[in-house]
Amino acid sequence: MRYSNNGFTAVKRAITIGLIAFFLATSIGIGSQSLLERMSITLIAFSLLVIIILIGIIFDIVGTAVTAADETPFHAKAACKIPGAKHAILLVKNADKVANFCNDVVGDVSASLSGAIGATIVSNIASNGTGNGVVLGSTIMTGFIAALTVGGKALGKHMAINESNEIIFHVGKIFYLIEYKFGLKILKAPPRKGRKNAKS
């Protein structure tokens, strides 16, 4: 019975994450494409592409860091009531969910959007050129996106593993400010196993 409940929860969670990824990719994609259509300056469109790639790299860093972070030091900071410490603890306690959202949802959406925007930029540049120019431009753009994404994530993973606690503490501070300024509580403490077993 416990296995079936866990399986249902996993399916429900997968469907929820899939829907979030769909609406996130669709809304950002429509917004970026409409923005690109109005841009006559290629440099601005190229800057948008780089920003989207960097967002994917940053979230990949957070997703990797949260799985490598140690919860213990944050308890000492939380005892001293240092802002962001309690939120850092919640991030580590929800490491699987945070990593899944950062690495899979945001990472995949960023990759899809960067490819689409790159293709749009090449199409706009080569609109008056030959077919060979479009093929060459697309190849160069694909290589650039891959190099920046893979290289950035490789460097980011090195930072995330070696500075995991510091990174998660800074993210915890951001969550603290969001909750303090806007009253939005993003993460909740997971239920204690003792209570769950007691009910069963």
> Is residue 200, in this structure, part of any structural domain at all?
no
Confirm whether 194 is domain-assigned.
Answer: no
Q: How far apart are CA 30 and CA 32, in angstroms?
A: 6
Reported as a single tens digit per residue, the pLDDT across 24-64 is: 666 666 665 565 555 555 677 788 899 999 999 999 999 99
**What does the DSSP assignment read for 105-159?**
IIHHHHHHHHHHHHHHHHHHHTTTS-HHHHHHHHHHHHHHHHHHHHHHHHHHHHH
Q: Looking at the domain assignment, is residue 71 inside a domain?
A: yes
* Position 199 in a domain: no
Q: How far apart are CA 91 and CA 69, in angstroms?
A: 9
- Residue 197 domain flag: no
pLDDT band at 197 (very low <50, low <70, confident <90, very high): very low
Domain range for 26: 2-189
C-alpha–C-alpha distance, residues 189 and 191, integer Å: 6
Residue 93 inside a domain? The answer is yes
40 inside domain: yes
* Residue 34: inside a domain: yes
- CA 117 centroid distance within chain: 18
Query: End-to-end distance of the chain based on CA atoms, in angstroms?
Result: 10
**Per-residue confidence (pLDDT) for residue 1, from 0 to 100:** 42
Task: Give how many domains the chain has, as a whole number.
Answer: 1
Query: What pLDDT digit, counting tens, does each position of 121-180 carry?
Result: 787 777 655 556 667 778 888 888 989 999 999 999 999 999 999 999 999 999 999 988
